[in-house]
Structure 1
Amino acid sequence: MVKDTEYYDILGIQPSATSTEIKKAYRKKAMETHPDKHPDDPDAQSKFQSVGEAYQVLSDDDLRKRYDEFGKDNAVPQHGFEDAGEYFTAIFGGDGFKDWIGEFSLFKEFNEATDMMDETKEGKEDAVSTKTKMNKEQREKLMEMEKKRREDMMKQVDELTEKLKIKIDNFLLAVKEKHLDDFNRKLDEEIEDLKLESFGLELLYLIAKVYRTKANNFIISKKTYGFSKLFTGTRDNARSVKSAYNLISTGLEAQKAMEQMNKVNPEELDDFERAKFESMMAGKALGVMWAMSKFELERKLKDVCNKILNDKNASSKQRIAKAKAMLYFADKFSKAKRSPEEAEEARVFEELILGEQEKRKKTH
């Protein structure tokens, strides 16, 4: 018996709800009450904040326990409640995948590049001097960003390699000690949570693709005494070139679309047309950012797989076992599905997240 059910009532769930049910409920209620969807409601922000506070408490095991036993006043986060908008962006912005993919930079590089371009425009008196100085500053900034990116990438690859080793070891131990059912239960619960993340399903499929490709290539190379590497290496390089080409094509298509949309004055559109226009703008921007992040993430995951499968400290038999564990994870991830309702929620949710990113960028 819980002392207070207000937070449960706000999210529309029972006090017995699981962590996944709480997360799904928050996702739904956050979208229903998001201020961008209720511009004429003066209480919209307050309702949105209440939903965020309810989730911040119920999603934290210690806070939830204190809330159930003693009520709201005794279940306040140590540093207070976070801003609903920033929390909304962070909670489904890919953080749940950190142990699998590291930092998901879907918005980070995009915002940094935009900020860099904005900075180069400040304090310029004419178009000629602006262009000259902007190019010089842009080159310097890009070199700094690229150096930092490479250093950060190497660090992430090392950290992710160790985390994946632990996951693989836990799987192999579960198989050996015949505890695979318990392992599967926990993995299935994690997948249910991960598919709710921003681009969650796409990320699961991407991880599955890389794991499957690298593991199969390794197993085949062992059966053919390494000769297949001549073929698989060439094929992987061709795929990388194709991915880079697709990234450039996506950027060019988005640029053309943006140029066309810039000719439209939103103030001249009615509410329906404006909503459609803004949705299209958000979709294009998300498409570009996703393509950029996907290309970088795929390279990072391949490096992680290579470090594990080419580890000379492990025997050939042990590395084959690790490859088969990767195939097991790939199979589980590739089977993740969303219902039509969840798919539509994901689309709307990602566009609202983009909106929060734009608002935060303008206020900083």
Structure 2
Amino acid sequence: MVVDTEYYDLLGVSATASAIEIKKAYRKKSIQEHPDKNPNDPKATERFQAISEAYQVLGDNELRVKYDKYGRKEAIPQGGFEDAAEQFSVIFGGDAFASYIGELMLLKNLQKTEELSAADEAEKEKENTESKDESTASNKTDATAAASPSAPTAANSNESDDKAKGSPSDLSVHDGSKKVEQVGTETKKKKTKLEQFEEEQELEKQKRIEQLSKTLIERLSILTESFYDDACKDSFKRKFEEEANLLKMESFGLDILHTIGDVYYGKAEIFLASQNLFGMGGIFHSMKAKGGVFMDTLRTVSAAIDAQNTMKELEKMKEVSTNDSPLLDKDGNEQVKPTTEELAQQEQLLMGKVLSAAWHGSKYEITSTLRGVCNKVLEDDAVGKKTLIRRAEAMKLLGEVFKKTFRTKVEQEEAQIFEELVAEATKKKKHT
């Protein structure tokens, strides 16, 4: 029995509600009470904050146990409650899928990549400038020496002797105005900051794949290390159907589930087919998978270009709307100023295009990571062929469960509204 039901009441669930029910209730309530959905209600923000606090406690197993036993005062998070808008935004792209796909780094690293690329360019320009200055100074010195010849000094004589003996007095040689550091007969090329960063990221990716493959082996072992009969397979399916029903309500959760399912199913199918028909079946499925990778690449690039074009169109519309002087199009006709509503519609369209591009980029990264994980799981030299075949069959079964997961019409509408609100909140946060 719980000593306080206030948080449960705020979310509209019973004290015996499951983690799935609590998360679903939070999503529904947060959409209903979000300040953007209630602009004329001064108490909406207060209710939204209270719902966020309730979820931060009831959504954490340890805090929920404390709350049930001792009440609200004993269940306050160690660092205090997060801002409601911050907590709301965190759920967008949250860590619910971390044990399947790891942390997504592609979009996070875009800004870092741009910064390092710019730093490398600046350093290159600086080196070129210094090289030109050095060359100019050297030419002036040579010109002065040529105009005023004099008898060789002792130092010059020694230098001449060194050259005659073939023993260079310096480890550096000059090629025009450039200094090249030599070790033996090989030239050492200095790595750019971007190259160093990319190498570090590749190492981190391999570590993630290593950890994720261990986690996947543990998941599959629920079936592979059991009696492996139909009853166990049904139990395995039911367990992951329940998990999929929770994950599908995450932002882009259904898309991520289907992506995981496609890779698991496809990789398992390739492995199992390679065990028959002298491996010819595996080659066919492998070629089919490569075709899918190519199409994913095209979609990623296409979505990014589409978002970029929409952004340029919005910039033009804003320029026309804020310019006091009339602007003419390419035919010399005056452009009609867009209304506030038209600008808002274009911003909404851009938000959708940016989200689409972000998803395609993320999907590309997810797919790449999962392929590495599946390869590691199915090419494990530490176990026998029988175990690998069982792993592949269990992986195919899990992939099937994820591929078949769907949202009801009500769930789809709820998830869509939630994603739009979070995207709007994220956009506002970036502008502040």
- After TM superposition, the score normalised by the length of structure 1 is 0.85
Q: Which residue of 1 aligns with 2:223?
A: 171
For the pair 1:91 / 2:91, whether they are aligned, the reply is: yes
Q: Which amino acid letter does the alignment assign opposite residue 244 of structure 1?
A: T
Deviates more, 1:105-114 or 1:233-242: 105-114
Deviation at 1:254, TM superposition (A): 1.8
Counterparts of 1:95 and 1:58 in 2: how far apart (Å)? Answer: 17
Counterparts of 2:396 and 2:252 in 1: how far apart (Å)? Answer: 22
Deviates more, 1:64-73 or 1:198-207: 64-73
Report if the CA contact (8 A) 2:269-2:285 is conserved: no
Counterparts of 1:246 and 1:135 in 2: how far apart (Å)? Answer: 34
Report if the CA contact (8 A) 2:8-2:14 is conserved: yes
Deviation at 1:239, TM superposition (A): 2.6
For the pair 1:149 / 2:218, whether they are aligned, the reply is: no
Report 1:185-224 matches (<5 A): 185-224=238-277
Q: Which amino acid letter does the alignment assign opposite residue 170 of structure 1?
A: I
Q: Which amino acid letter does the alignment assign opposite residue 206 of structure 2?
A: M
For the pair 1:324 / 2:393, whether they are aligned, the reply is: yes
Report if the CA contact (8 A) 2:22-2:58 is conserved: yes
Deviates more, 1:230-239 or 1:146-155: 230-239
Q: Can you list the C-alpha shifts for 1:139-164, whole angstroms capped at 9, x where unaligned?
A: 96654553343222111111110000
Counterparts of 1:84 and 1:112 in 2: how far apart (Å)? Answer: 28
Counterparts of 1:134 and 1:355 in 2: how far apart (Å)? Answer: 38
Q: Which residue of 2 aligns with 1:128?
A: none
Q: Can you list the C-alpha shifts for 1:87-138, whole angstroms capped at 9, x where unaligned?
A: 2222342411111111134752456568x49x969xxxxxxxxxx759979x
Report if the CA contact (8 A) 1:279-1:351 is conserved: no
Q: Can you list the C-alpha shifts for 1:5-49, whole angstroms capped at 9, x where unaligned?
A: 221121122222211110001111122222333445444433222
Report if the CA contact (8 A) 1:194-1:200 is conserved: yes
Call closer, same or farther: CA 1:51–1:175 in 2, change over 3 Å.
Answer: farther
Higher helix share: 1
CA RMSD of aligned residues (A): 3.0
Report if the CA contact (8 A) 2:91-2:251 is conserved: no
Report if the CA contact (8 A) 1:52-1:84 is conserved: yes
Q: Which residue of 2 aligns with 1:82?
A: 82
Report 1:46-65 matches (<5 A): 46-65=46-65
Report 1:1-364 matches (<5 A): 1-105=1-105, 108-109=108-109, 112=112, 116=115, 133=122, 142-143=194-195, 145-176=197-228, 179-180=232-233, 182-265=235-318, 269-270=339-340, 276-363=345-432
Q: Can you list the C-alpha shifts for 1:25-75, whole angstroms capped at 9, x where unaligned?
A: 111112222233344544443322211100011112232222223321222
Kindly tell me the number of residue pairs found equivalent between the two proteins.
Answer: 349
Q: Which amino acid letter does the alignment assign opposite residue 253 of structure 2?
A: G
Counterparts of 2:287 and 2:198 in 1: how far apart (Å)? Answer: 27
Call closer, same or farther: CA 1:193–1:289 in 2, change over 3 Å.
Answer: same
Deviation at 1:81, TM superposition (A): 1.1
Report if the CA contact (8 A) 1:94-1:200 is conserved: no
Counterparts of 1:182 and 1:215 in 2: how far apart (Å)? Answer: 20
Deviation at 1:213, TM superposition (A): 0.9
3-state secondary structure, aligned to 1:312:
coil
Q: Can you list the C-alpha shifts for 1:210-229, whole angstroms capped at 9, x where unaligned?
A: 11111111111110233444
3-state secondary structure, aligned to 1:225:
helix
Report if the CA contact (8 A) 2:267-2:374 is conserved: yes
Deviation at 1:230, TM superposition (A): 4.0
Deviation at 1:281, TM superposition (A): 2.0
5+ residue gaps, structure 2: 127-190, 323-337
Deviating above 6 A after TM superposition, structure 1's stretches of 4 or more consecutive aligned residues are 134-137
Report if the CA contact (8 A) 2:266-2:285 is conserved: no
Query: Once the two structures are aligned, what percentage of the paired residues are identical?
Result: 38
Deviation at 1:321, TM superposition (A): 0.9
Deviates more, 1:259-268 or 1:286-295: 259-268
Call closer, same or farther: CA 1:106–1:40 in 2, change over 3 Å.
Answer: farther
- After TM superposition, the score normalised by the length of structure 2 is 0.72
Counterparts of 1:135 and 1:190 in 2: how far apart (Å)? Answer: 52
Counterparts of 2:13 and 2:107 in 1: how far apart (Å)? Answer: 32
Report if the CA contact (8 A) 1:33-1:47 is conserved: yes
Call closer, same or farther: CA 1:33–1:110 in 2, change over 3 Å.
Answer: farther
Q: Which amino acid letter does the alignment assign opposite residue 172 of structure 1?
A: T
Call closer, same or farther: CA 1:108–1:356 in 2, change over 3 Å.
Answer: farther
Counterparts of 2:431 and 2:113 in 1: how far apart (Å)? Answer: 14
Counterparts of 1:62 and 1:235 in 2: how far apart (Å)? Answer: 46
Counterparts of 1:76 and 1:308 in 2: how far apart (Å)? Answer: 41
Counterparts of 1:144 and 1:96 in 2: how far apart (Å)? Answer: 31
Q: Which residue of 1 aligns with 2:325?
A: none
> Which is higher, the Rg of structure 1 or of structure 2?
2
Counterparts of 1:164 and 1:41 in 2: how far apart (Å)? Answer: 48
5+ residue gaps, structure 1: 122-131
Call closer, same or farther: CA 1:257–1:201 in 2, change over 3 Å.
Answer: same
